[in-house]
Structure 1
Amino acid sequence: MTRYLYPFLLLATLSACSTQPVTPSGSLPSSPVLPASEAVSAPSVAPPVVLPPVVGTLPPPVTPPVKPVVLSESQGRNLLERLLPPHIGDRQGWSKDIISAFTALKIPYRADNFCAVAAVIEQESSWQGDPTVPNLPAIVWGKIGERANKYLVPLPVVKAALLKTSPNGKSYKARIDNLRTEREMNLLFEDMAAEASKLGLPMNMKNPIRTGGPMQVSVEFAEAHVKIWPYPYQTGNSIRNDVFTRRGGIYFGTAILLQYPAPYQDMRYRFADFNAGRYSSRNAAFQAAVSQLSGRKLALDGDLLSYTGKQATGSTYQALLTLRSRLEMSQGELERDLQQEKNSNFAQSELYRKLFALADRKAGKPVPRERMPQIDLHSPKISRKLTTQWFAGKVNTRYQSCMARQ
């Protein structure tokens, strides 16, 4: 029996001692392709293959970018229907005006965008197209009295002049005594400004109303916006008057709130910008960094530069002048970059980059690039102490409630 097994044992020993050739690169040679007959008869379990060691680290897997979902207008309308509060008057009208504004301004139909607009509308007007103002006649008489005193005209003389009939057939005094809404007040002052000479009033009757509509948007912003972006609606008498309509107020309010690239992760800072001016939250963070580096206490109001005549002034500007050597920038270069404070380019300016580099180094970590502006709010319609931070917080609460409805 042994002599029959010996040839097989010898063959097995020689196979175990043999080595597999290695290519010059150190990798295993490629396996030969077997004929079909041999491949069929090959063993069902292949011997383990030992791979050469991997030098270095493998690159991370490439994740393809996720394309944002773009909703059609009908899909956007359905989404908005879910987000609007359940019990508002003329729900269909509000939805139509919001969708129309988003379409014209080319703003994506998204829940966060819809809810941002809805939250501001709810805060500013409680979903009233033409908001009523408590004690409005008293507010207007107070404003007229201030102007009369400025021009040394007794108020009784002014009231006598306002007994004359206005263009709508009622006396100016009667219209003032019965004012209820901002739109009525705006139209009143428009008529008074047009007929100031006829009324014999030796005062500048320029319309003092600066904001209005369901989102309390700035008339000045609206008049500037139509110069750079096509207005989609037929105007009535003026862009100013359109601000006080629901359709126009939503359009311009949506534009100032959303139609600009804001560098914020938290929507609260957009709400603060809506109240205090675009990029106020970014600029307030810049002021905080200037204050930290200069040792000067600054008002964090988002206003970086002002002028007295042609002379650049302002506490932030003065503090930056003390940092010129550390920033390695001239006074002219500082002014050049500060003039971009109201647009997105400021965040790419030499001044912005160098200042935050210094602030990060001093703190030992990145300092915030967004901060709530510290501004007190003043208006004849405000009877208690309010701030931009208070406004942003109230709107954000409404925003979160809206987002929960999706």
Structure 2
Amino acid sequence: MNSTARSLFDDPLAGAAEKAAAMLQARKRGSSLPQPFYNDERLFALDMQTIFEREWLFAGMTCEIPKKGCFITLEIGSNSVIVVRGDEGAIHAFHNVCRHRGSRLCSRASGKVAKLVCPYHQWAYELDGQLLFAGTDMGADFDMAAYGLKPVHVRAAGGFIFICLADDPPAIDEFADTLDDYLAPHGMDNVKVAAESEIIEKANWKLVVENNRECYHCNGAHPELLNSLYEFDDTDDPRATPKYKEVVARKQRDWEAEGAPWQLRRFGRRNRVTRTPLLEGTVSMTPDGQAGVRKLMGRLTTPDMGSLRILHLPNSWNHVMGDHAVVFRVIPIGPQETRVTTKWLVHKDAVEGVDYDPDTLRKVWDATNAQDRQLAEENQRGINSIAYEPGPYSETFEFGVIDFIDWYSERMLGHLDDETPALRLAGAR
């Protein structure tokens, strides 16, 4: 929205922004957020404008756009984005908005095109966003070069694609370089999507992320997951047992022999990358803990690679193993509604029905996602009560949640301090 249009709505959101800032500044660190952050329409609008329109977001995988003209789309609030493969393998991202009268160019979630053509009046764009055709009636003074698609910042790293809607995005190079390094043995540009699920959780996006950032609930909720997964992934974790530390040391020697990085890397509170063992006797997140794909990823020679855990706030967590990977994307829909997409990735040459069974591959995380959905939705229902007040997190079991809420609070306050955004009409429902 241009500055003139924004100014029409400054006052309505200014009040909400000031109240949000005051609540964040007064909040007790180590406790959950005040109720409005989980269910209020205007604070949801603030979240979308100060977090999801300004931070780097996980959009998809490079394997989803393998050839020139292949594209994916995603919806970030009221903003539709196209990610498309162009000439010489280049990846471009654009606002999915025709420069003529604003129609969406692509209505499908994915596909392959020669050019990007608006279905309304057939304005046509090159895959790099340049306007190629605008009819014959635009007048002699019409400047084709001035009406290319509006670009969105995009960065590919380790097979992951990240986008940022901000004019001046946060730094991402160090994290991206680490992904390239840590994921190189897994050959993430040479994988394919073997299975995909999408669920709508009737809960605020922050509750969905909070639930992921702790395993305090795992013993009581996730029997399938705990068949292969340790509840912790760091030898400095106060819960880490001597047996776990011994397994870690042994596995790290194996991973070094495989040429696979494993050291825990943190990039502030936003990003975290670490390779950690799975339970002894298991090598993959499958019902029996054994490899679910016969053809291993990349150049790996063993499936026993533990889980490379990748956190990217605000909208992704991931597990990359020796035989397959599971990637997760979180996109808010409304104050109490969140879309969670899960994709299972395998070597591109693995043959379904021969090298893997997609139903078997997805059983553990299908069960876990369903369990987490119920937990998040019950959490939301409780928070909506007049009885709710912020409660304390456990520094031992919920330090990941504390880090997430601290990151969210810092980023929200920082963005609000930079510039109070305008409440868009679409957000004031």
TM-score interval (norm. to shorter):
under 0.3
The answer to which structure has the higher strand fraction is 2
Scaled by the length of structure 2, the TM-score of the pair is 0.25
Instruction: Report which of the two structures shows the higher radius of gyration computed on alpha carbons.
Output: 1
The answer to which structure has the higher helix fraction is 1
